[in-house]
Amino acid sequence: MKKILIVNRGEIAVRVVRACRDMGIPSAVVYSDADRASLHVLEADEAVRIGPAPALESYLNIDAVIAAAREVGADAIHPGYGFLAENWRFAKRCEDEGLTFIGPTSDALQLVADKIRSRETMLAQNVPIIPGMMSSGKDMKDYREKAAEMGYPVLVKASAGGGGKGMQIVREEEGLEAAIETSSRVAGSAFGDDTVYIEKLIERPRHIEFQILADMHGNCVHLFERECSIQRRHQKIVEESPSPVVGSELRAKMGATAILAAKACGYTNAGTVEFLLDEDGTSFYFLEVNARIQVEHPVTEMVTGVDLVRQQILIARGEKLEFTQGDLSQTGHAIECRIYAEDPKNNFLPSSGRISLFREPQGPGIRHDCGIYEGWEVPVHYDPILSKLIVHAEDRDAARARMKRALGDMSILGIATCLEYLWSIIDSEAYAAGETQTDFIEKHMSDWPTSTASDETEHLALIAAALSLSTESSTGGAVREKAPSPWDTLGSWRIGAGGGR
C-alpha cells in the first residue's frame, strides 16, 4: 500500500491516521467546509477538501471521494464507521477503480445489508436465528397468520433497516396492521425499500457481539465478545468486554457460531457478528453482521492487546493472520463510554457550539479516543459523538471504579455532554450487579437526575464561579501574587528547538 485515504471525520479518522503513522504508511484525510479546523485535519499528513458541509455533498459523495483518492495518489481507502463504510456500491466502485477498500468485498457487504437474505444464509448453516418470517408477507392475512404462529409479542422489522428505524413492537393482534403500515412507510422513506417482516420479540435480551477477523486466505478468528446492552434510542452508549454473564462454555459456542456466520457470508477483514442473548442467558440468536470497524472496538483491543485497525490494513494488503484462535485470550476487563454532544437534562437534544474548556482524564488503564479540542466549534451537521473514554483494569469492579474516576476527571464545557449521565450509569447498583439488559435505560435511568448535587458541591461550584468572574472584572489583581518564575519571563523557547520533524 502506497497511501491510504481516510474517508471519515472525528475520532475514528484520527484513530486511523495514527494507525497508518504507526505502520509507516502515508495517509490523507478528506474534509468538508464545516471541518476545516477539525482535529482529523490537524492530525493528518495530507488533507483534501471534499465539498460543502452537508454529508451528502461531502463524506457521502462517492465521485468526490474517488477524485480525492486520485488527487493524493492513494491506492487504498479506509472508510471508518458510518458514512460510506457499509455502502456496497461504494466498495464496488473502489474495486472497479482498482482501489483497495479496507473492509469486506462488495458482495459480502451486499449480502449482510439485507436482513432477510442474511437470515436465509444463517439458517442454511444452522446458525440460530430469531424465529420469524423468511420473507415479507403476501398480504395482511399472511402477516396475521405468521404472527399468531410464532405467538405475540412480535417485532415488525424493515429488511433494509438499521439503527432501530422502522422497528415496531406489537403485543396484540389488533396493533399488527397499523405497525406494518407504519414500519413499511418509515422504511420506504429512510432506506428506499419498504420490505418488512415479522420476528418473535425476545424480551429483555442482552446485546452480545463477537469481533471477528478474517483474512483472504480462509483464516478466521474471533476476538471474544463485547456486551453493548446499554442503549438509548437504539444507540449503544456503554460497552464492555467480557460480558458479565457470558461464561467460558457459552463464549466458545458463540465464538464458533460467529466464525461460522462470517464464513457463510464470505466475509473478510474486521467485522462484528451481533447476537441477542435471552433473559436466562442460555439461548442466543444471530442478529446481524456489522461490516466495519465498530465504534466500540477499543474494548476488544484493551482485553486482547490486538490493534484492530492495524489488522484491517494488514488483511486488506493480502497478508495472512499473524495468530490463530489459540493465541488469543482476554485479559482483565474493559469498559467504554461514548461521549456525545447532547443534553441529558433537556431531552438529549444535540448540542453544538464552542468547547470553551476541555480536560482529559489521565492515569494507568485510561484511553481516550478523541475527536475534539479546546476552542473547537462543534458543527451541527454530523453525528454528535465527540470521543470515547475507555478504561482497562484487572476485573470488572476495578474497571467500574476506574471509569467513574476517569469520567469525574473529564471536563467539557461550553456545550452540553452526557458525561454526568454516564457517571450515574456506571455508579448505579444495577450496573454494578451486571443487570445490563437492553431495557437498562428505561428501567434504571428514567428518573434521572435522581438527586441533584448536594448543597456542598453546588456551593463549591458557586464559590469558583464567583471567584472566576471577579478576576475577570476590571478591579483585577486577583491572580495570586508570586515571584515571576523563569517560565514566565523567558519568552518563547523550547527544549531541543531546531530539531525539526
Binding region for another protein (CB under 8 A): 341-342, 346-347, 349-353, 356-357, 359, 380-384, 404, 407-408, 411-414, 417, 419-420, 423, 452-453, 457-473, 475, 477-481
Beta carbon nearer to another protein, 281 or 414: 414
Q: Could you tell me the smallest distance in angstroms from the CB atom of residue 66 to another protein? A: 24
C-alpha to C-alpha distance for 188 and 185, rounded to whole angstroms: 5
Within 265-394, where are the H helices? 297-304, 308-316
Beta carbon nearer to another protein, 305 or 449: 449
Cβ count near 319 (within 10 Å): 13
Within 296-395, where are the H helices? 297-304, 308-316
Beta carbon nearer to another protein, 32 or 257: 32
Q: Could you tell me the smallest distance in angstroms from the CB atom of residue 60 to another protein? A: 12
Handedness of CA 463, 467, 470, 472 (dihedral sign): negative
Active site annotation includes 292: yes
Q: Could you tell me the smallest distance in angstroms from the CB atom of residue 473 to another protein? A: 7
Beta carbon nearer to another protein, 95 or 427: 427
Sheet with 4-6, side-by-side order of all strands: 46-51, 27-32, 4-6, 76-78, 100-101
Note the Cα 180 to chain centre separation in Å: 29
Strands 333-340 and 385-393: antiparallel
C-alpha to C-alpha distance for 294 and 239, rounded to whole angstroms: 11
Task: Give the residue carrying C-alpha cell 455502502.
Answer: 87
For residue 12, the one-letter residue type is I
Phi, psi of 352 (to 5 degrees): -115, 170
Q: Could you tell me the smallest distance in angstroms from the CB atom of residue 239 to another protein? A: 20
82 close to 289: Cβ distance less than 8 angstroms: no
C-alpha to C-alpha distance for 29 and 44, rounded to whole angstroms: 6
Beta carbon nearer to another protein, 294 or 424: 424
Q: Could you tell me the smallest distance in angstroms from the CB atom of residue 338 to another protein? A: 13
Q: Could you tell me the smallest distance in angstroms from the CB atom of residue 128 to another protein? A: 33
Q: Could you tell me the smallest distance in angstroms from the CB atom of residue 46 to another protein? A: 27
Beta carbon nearer to another protein, 347 or 492: 347
Tell me how far apart the 2 most distant CA atoms of the chain are, in Å. 86
Q: Could you tell me the smallest distance in angstroms from the CB atom of residue 459 to another protein? A: 5
**Residue 291 to residues 107, 352, 361, 478: CA-CA distances in angstroms?**
12, 30, 31, 56
Beta carbon nearer to another protein, 139 or 472: 472
C-alpha to C-alpha distance for 4 and 176, rounded to whole angstroms: 49
Geometric angle at alpha carbon 187, from 182 and 192, rounded to 5°: 140
Residue 219, classed as helix, strand or coil, is: coil
Note the Cα 2 to chain centre separation in Å: 28
Catalytic residue among 9, 292, 338, 396: 292
Beta carbon nearer to another protein, 277 or 412: 412
Beta carbon nearer to another protein, 24 or 477: 477
C-alpha to C-alpha distance for 281 and 246, rounded to whole angstroms: 8
Question: At 72, which helix (H) or strand (E)?
Answer: helix 62-72
Q: Could you tell me the smallest distance in angstroms from the CB atom of residue 182 to another protein? A: 15
Is the bond leading into 153 cis (omega within 30 degrees of zero)?
A: yes
Geometric angle at alpha carbon 81, from 127 and 438, rounded to 5°: 55
Q: Find the length of the chain.
A: 501
C-alpha to C-alpha distance for 202 and 199, rounded to whole angstroms: 9
Q: Which residues are catalytic?
A: 292
